[in-house]
Amino acid sequence: MTASEQSQAASAGKGPLDGVVVLDLSRILAGPTCTQVLGDLGATIIKIEHPERGDDTRTWGPPFALGEDGEATDLSSYFMCANRNKLSVAVDIATPEGQETIQQIAARADILIENFKPGGLEKYGLDHRTVLATYQQLIYCSISGFGHTGPNREKPGYDLMAQGYSGIMSLTGEADGAPVKVAVGIADVMTGMYASVGILAALRHRDQTGEGQHVDLSLVDASLAWMINEGVAHLTTGKPRPRRGHQHATIVPYQTFACADGFVLVAVGNDLQYTRFCDFLGRPDLADDPRFATNSARVVNREVLIPMLEALMTEHSQAEIVAGLEARKVPVGPVNTVEQAFASDQAKAREMRIDMAKEGIDRGAVELIGNPLKFSATPVTYRRPPPHLGEDTQAVLEWLEGKRAAPEG
C-alpha cells in the first residue's frame, strides 16, 4: 500500500477503536505487539520511552532504517516490526515529573499496558492496585514472564526462557537432534495476541458497567496455552511427547519432503486425500495396504511408511509434485524463503507488505508487514510510521497542559 493509499484509507473511515486512548508502558515485543494491533484498529497509542535509552529494541540491529545521510537511525527493523501507529513520548518514569506526566495521561486513558516485573512499578505509584484505585474505569494490562502469582512471579521473563520453560522447545527440532527454539519470538507474539483479546473483552465489560479491571498475562502461560494438541495429548496419556522434526504427531503424511530440486510440503488430512497422493506416486497399493489404509494405521506404522514415501518423492521435481497433487486436490505447497513469501502474488494481493512514508529516511519510506485483519466496514489503517525516540513528546505535553487538542494517533 502506498503512502497516498494509506492516507485515503485513513480519511475514508475511522477504525473500530477510534477515540480509545492507550497508555503504553511496554517495551521489546509482547506489549508492543498488542498495542500495535490496537493502534491499527484506530486507538491512539501513547508510547512512553526512556529519554536516553528508549525501547530496548531500538538498538537491536543491524539492520536499521538509514537516514538521508546513509547512517543508521534509531529505527531498527526489530523496533519497527511492532511500533507503527504510535506516539513516542520521552519520559523518565523514575522522576517525580515523569510519574506526574504518566498519571496525567492515565487520567485520560482507557487502557494502560505494562511489562515490568511484578512489583516493579510500586515504587513509582504506578502499579495496578494504586492506579486502579484512582482510575477505576481503566483497563490495566500487565505482561510478565510468569504472571503476578505463583512461586516464579519475580523471575524475569524473555521469549527464549518461555519457550524453554513451557515445553515447546522439547518438541521443536529433529527427532535425534537438540531442542530448537521457534525462529521468531513466538511466545512474545502470542502473549501480545492474547493481551489484545483480553483487553478488548475488558473494554466491552467497562463500556457496559463502567468498571475497569486488571488483566494479568504471562509469557509462560501463553506458551503453555498454545501447546494445544500436543499439550492435551500429554495430559490425556500422561506420557512424554516425542520430538518429530517436520512430521505431525497424529496425522501421516503431514510433513516436509525432499524432492529432486528442493523441498515440498504435503498435508494429507484424510484417507481419501491419501489415496489420491498414492495415485500420484504411482503406488495405489500403498493406499490398499491395511497398514496404511487409515490415518490411525499410518500413525502407528509411520516408521515403515515414511521412508517409502520419501524415496518416491525424490523422483519428482517440486513443480511436478505441486501441479500433480493440486490437480488431485491434495494439500501441497513449496517451502518458501522469507524473500519468496513476501514477493508472492498472494502476499501482495492481501497487502501483507506495506510502505509507510517517513521523512528523513533514505528511501522516504519504511517497509513493514501488514495487519492480517481484513474488515468489510472498518478496515485497519496505517496512520503513523514507527516514531523516532521522543518525537511526539512536545505535542503530548502541550495536550496535557490544555494548549492544544489531543494529538492524532
User: CA dihedral in degrees (293, 298, 300, 302; nearest 10)?
Assistant: 140
In three-state secondary structure terms, 308 is helix
Q: What distance in Å separates the CA atoms of residue 370 and residue 352, rounded to the nearest whole number? A: 4
CA 181, distance to chain mean position in Å, is: 15
One-letter amino acid for residue 394 of the chain: Q
**Across-strand partners of 88?**
47
- Which of 158, 150, 113 is closest to 131 using CA atoms? 113
One-letter amino acid for residue 145 of the chain: G
For residue 144, with 0-12 CB atoms within 10 Å meaning exposed, 13-18 middle and 19 or more buried, which class applies?
buried
* Residue with the three cell numbers 537491536: 60
Q: What are phi and psi of 96, to 5 degrees?
A: -60, -35
How much is the pLDDT for 3? Answer: 41
Active-site annotation holds for 159: no
How much is the pLDDT for 408? Answer: 86
- Which of 342, 283, 344, 333 is closest to 310 using CA atoms? 283
* Residue with the three cell numbers 516493579: 120
Per-residue pLDDT of the chain (409 residues; tens, 9 = 90+): 444 354 444 444 589 999 999 999 999 999 999 999 999 999 999 999 999 999 999 999 999 999 999 999 999 999 999 999 999 999 999 999 999 999 999 999 999 999 999 999 999 999 999 999 999 999 999 999 999 999 999 998 899 999 999 999 999 999 889 999 999 999 999 999 999 999 999 999 999 999 999 999 999 999 999 999 999 999 999 999 999 988 999 999 999 999 999 899 999 999 999 999 999 999 999 999 999 999 999 999 999 999 999 999 999 999 999 999 999 999 999 999 999 999 999 999 999 999 999 999 999 999 999 999 999 999 999 999 999 999 999 999 999 999 999 888 8
* H helix runs in 13-127, sequence order: 30-40, 77-80, 96-108
Say which of 55, 74, 110, 188 is annotated catalytic: 188
How much is the pLDDT for 13? Answer: 57
Q: Do residues 188 and 216 touch, judged by C-beta distance below 8 A? A: no
Beta-sheet pairing, 21-25 with 365-369: unpaired
In three-state secondary structure terms, 261 is coil
Helices and strands (H, E) in the chain, number of each type: 18, 13
- Which of 21, 17, 46 is closest to 32 using CA atoms? 46
3-state helix, strand, coil in the chain (%, to 5): 40, 15, 45
The number of residues making up the chain comes to 409
Rounded to whole angstroms, the maximal C-alpha distance in the chain is 80
